[in-house]
Amino acid sequence: MTPRPADAAILAGLRVVELSAFVAAPLGGATLAALGADVIRVDGPGGGIDIDRWPLHNGRSLYWAGLNQGKRSVVIDTRTEVGRRQVAGLITAPGEGGGIVLTNLPVKGWTSYEELSKRRADLIMMVITGDRDGGTAVDYTVNAALGFPWLTGPEGLDGPVNHVLPAWDAMTGYLAALAILAAERHRRRHGEGQLVELSLSDVGLAVAGHLGLLGEAILEPEPRGRFGNEVYGTFGRDFETRDGRRVMVLALTARQWASLGEATGLTAEFAAVESRAAADFRKEADRWVHRRPLFEVLESWFARHDLADVRKAFDSHGVLWGPYQTVKQLVADDPRASTMNPMFSEIEHPGTGRFLTAGSPLRFGAAPALPPRPAPELGEHTDEVLREFGLLA
């Protein structure tokens, strides 16, 4: 055990080679990079299949810039024998924190665990696939299979509603990063590397299980339907203010429920509903079951109040609520999305410009936070990295 160098980030000493595209694996790599791991993304000439993905600015991909923050970029042509040797050499280069590869590209032949682990026996290889059997699946097909599009969206709508957030990708990326740390702990304790596998569809299925949705669909003859913006099983919904803004309001706890009554002055009206229904609104389930008359009372209250009044009343009473914002409104108005939030800095992204950029959301008391870094230019570190690992052709 050694004393910690004062300036060492929490994942200092870890080195991950990333062969990737799209969201899950790049986000896993970016997550580790933001915590101080040396993450080296390897692409072929011209870049990966995701190099030009929308949204663009000045013709450059903001998507690529976001998902590859803080990495080093190496371009190697693996159609040549020399290139394949270089990539294999990089992945299996010696060093206590090295010998780790993260990929969501097809692995076979020279990129297989079997072949690469011949060059470094304690190799850790994290492979992300679509389906568990290696079949192709992406966030959008997994989401369609899981049932969420029939639960999301306005009540009475005819058809599924996809959510725009690639949530399964993001969760898979985070789990892959977690798995790398678990495997590295194992290697540190037992000297042994391993192949780790994770599929997007298994992540979706496991989460659907954790949330009780699989059990519900198996055990209940009539599982839940679609409830629009109402939060199933509790008190929560959107409302429109007099000035046409929308707010999300919840009462998950008895205290939050009491606050909502106090902030709106509707305690007596809520109690009247409670008494008529013979309900106990200190209970979450009762607030859900009898939500309709409560929503009516609140709708007419919101129709008489502007967002500014709502904010004042709700914040002073500790109501659980928040305004809906477009992304434009978020970056214009919300102090959490500004340099007032220490997670953010304005930094220059080569080719696209200077804009507000986040570092890791994780704050470690015993390790300094790394300031956010832009994505590299494609191939920016090719020479540097090949030289560093003695792999120049």
Quick one: residue 153, left, alpha or beta (phi over 0 = left, psi -120 to 50 = alpha)?
Answer: left
CB of 391 to a copy of itself, least distance (A): 27
- By the 10 Å C-beta count (0-12 exposed, 13-18 middle, 19+ buried), 154 is classed as exposed
Residue labelled with tokens 């040797």: 85
CB of 386 to a copy of itself, least distance (A): 28
Quick one: residue 347, left, alpha or beta (phi over 0 = left, psi -120 to 50 = alpha)?
Answer: beta
Q: Which of residues 269 and 290 has its CB atom nearest to a copy of itself in the complex? A: 290
Please pick, among 139, 158, 169, 334, the residue that the annotation labels catalytic.
Answer: 169
List phi, psi (to 5°) of 237.
-170, 170
Token representation of residue 139:
């966030």
Q: Which of residues 84 and 246 has its CB atom nearest to a copy of itself in the complex? A: 246
Q: Which of residues 72 and 391 has its CB atom nearest to a copy of itself in the complex? A: 72
Q: Which of residues 217 and 272 has its CB atom nearest to a copy of itself in the complex? A: 217
> Is 169 one of the annotated active-site residues of the chain?
yes
CA-CA distance, 365 to 51, in Å (whole number)? 36
Residues 6 or more apart in contact with residue 364 via CB below 8 angstroms? 10, 35
DSSP state letter for 371? P
| Residues involved in catalysis | 169
